[in-house]
A and B are shown apart, each in its own frame.
Chain A
Amino acid sequence: MRKLLSLILSLLAIAVNSLAQVSEDEPSKPSDFVLRGYVKYLEQLYSSPLTAKIASNQLVHNRLNLAYLPGTKFKFRLEVRNRLYFGELVRDYPGFSDQVTAGPGLVNLSENWINKSGILLNSTIDRASAEYINNKWDIIIGRQRINWGVNSVWTPNDIFNSFNFFDFDYEERPGTDAVRVKYEISGPATLEADYAPGRKQSEQTGAVMMHYNRWTYDFQLFTGIYHTDRTAGIGWAGNLGKAGFKGEATLFSPTWQNSGPNTWTSSLSVDYGFRNGIYLLVSGLYNKLGSDTTFSLLQLQGEALNAKNLFPFRYTGFVQCAWPVSPLIRLSLGAMYAPTGNTLILLPDCSWAVSSNWALDLVAQIFATQQANTYTSPVGSYYVRLKWGF
């Protein structure tokens, strides 16, 4: 695996190098190769009642997105994230490297180059796909992201690759190894059949989705197999007056391979943009498998939940208000509440577009639960992030 990854990364380096030469010699000629990416530096401070002091962690994160577009019918993508972690969390938190390396998919395309003395250097290929587009057909094979979700916080319809909302630094979100066949029936109406085999038969996901637009609403309906369950779902994106109104629900019903009750998750959201630029979002989640009695805060951090059990709580609400102080500075405050343990999560965020391709973000994630009618010391993660895009 290490050899395969080394080979792919070497090829990527050659492509980057030749691309740089082409752009110098013939700046006006459009290239079939497109290379984009970024370098980020993330400083994290972590405080918890369990640890006596504040732990710190550093991450240098590079992403390379290479696309090869020969003509209009084919598109090849290869995208890799290289992460260098160092600091106390890497050294002291057991299983940190396993968490970084973990990724779903048929093939393991993740490698730890260095993993000792509190330093972890990892490369992960999270997109590697070939796409064929011909008139009404669009076929993609390989590692890709299949975004079926409609909402921005909880996405029950994301049965192929659900994501952790708190992992804000992973903007692209995980991919999955799958085959995707899409057919455009007419205009905005499409029919799609996707299949992700998984490493075991009990990890496979396959479904057919119909997407159409009527009465200024986008609707989607799907049915298929999710691991060892039959699944069906519905989603929509439209408006109530001038406010946006989105919703989605997914039902899971056991097949012959397992037993257990039917379960479902659903999420609704309403958003509104005021003339002065303020943006307001209200969203809610019902997760039948979620607990309404006990849970651990660790369930929220790092651990990948899945489409069937999208969040630790049965009921969760979220309110977010974002304010663009200027075109360059955006302040945002999000608050999440679950009746389970009266859990409150505060998500303040400030982003500053320092220059055309530089951005600075200050982000905090503060988790608090009530025990014996009082809120104990919260668990908090505080981040400073500098990003350069190219």
Chain B
Amino acid sequence: MKFLLQSSTLIVCLFAISAASYAQNAKEIITRAENNIKGRSSQTDMTIKIVRPTWSRSMTLKAWTKGDDYSISIVTAPAKDAGTVFLKRGKEIWNWLPAIERSVKLPPSMMSQSWMGTDFTNDDLVKASSRITDYTHTLKGDTIIEGRKCWRIEMIPLPGAAVTWGKVMVFIDQKDYLELRLVFYDEDNNQVSVLQCSDVKTMGGRTLPTKMEMIPADKKNQETIFIYNSAVFDKPVPDDFFTTEDMKRIK
């Protein structure tokens, strides 16, 4: 009996260790992939295209980020919106409106709203850090995307985490640790949208997908496309660059 108890304890322990190492692996993969995109700091120039069944619109944007806490971006075209700036410091967000020359602090509830009419929410753009700390991560096997072998990782939000999804499936390239696809599900396990990444290129000394398409599941012929035109990584930027004063200075 004693032997049986010891054996079963050992088996349970082994199982736990094995599960823990899998969980850690999945988390490590996600962390490495996240760092791959963001780096310590980044400066990017991108084009965003909103596609709807009967119309489409394009805008261009310049963005600077530092770690998870700081980001600042400025709309450079079309003329109607040019000069609009978004600033993030920690959990706070401000919007600089060039016409009235004022910065407006946005309420936290606006994080779940669409960002400038795109299929991205404000939260998608500024709280990506939660992918590491706000979820449990489980490896679910391998698959092929864009001719590349990928890990399939299931992410379930931790109880109480400020996450709008019920589940997220992430597909990460096994060679270069690139996030090639993210599938978002609601709390009832219905698919809400897919983020499809492609056009893998070397930019700013890194290999990364330069095109991202956010495709809502329930809306036909509708998507938002992000295209990186240029990128610079790990160029030192002081924290003081990300202030409401700098919102009116960047160009």
Contact = CB atoms under 8 A, between A and B. Distances in A.
B117 A390 contact: no
A357 B79 contact: yes
A244 B106 contact: yes
A106 to B, nearest CB: 20
B199 interface: no
B105 A238 contact: yes
Interface string B231-251: 000000001100111000101
Contact of A184 (B55, B164, B243): B243
Interface string A256-286: 0000000000000001111101010000000
A357 B99 contact: no
Nearest to A189: B243
B109 A273 contact: yes
A243 B90 CA distance: 17
B25 interface: no
A274 B109 contact: yes
Contact of A172 (B55, B99, B108): B99
Most buried by A among B52, B83, B251: B251
A172 B100 CA distance: 5
Interface residues of A, number: 46
B114 A242 contact: no
Interface string A119-146: 0000000000000010000100000010
A314 interface: no
Contacts of B204: none
Interface string B104-147: 11111110111011100000000000000000000000000000
Nearest to B224: A327
A272 B107 contact: yes
A36 B239 contact: no
B92 A216 contact: yes
Given A244-B107, A273-B112, 20 more contacts: A36-B82, A145-B100, A145-B101, A171-B100, A172-B101, A184-B240, A188-B89, A216-B90, A239-B107, A242-B108, A243-B107, A243-B109, A271-B107, A273-B107, A274-B113, A277-B113, A324-B114, A327-B50, A353-B80, A357-B80
7 smallest beta-carbon distances between A and B, as pairs: A327-B117, A244-B107, A273-B110, A242-B109, A356-B78, A237-B105, A389-B80
Interface of B: 50, 52, 55, 57-58, 78-80, 82-83, 89-92, 99-102, 104-110, 112-114, 116-118, 164, 239-240, 243-245, 249, 251
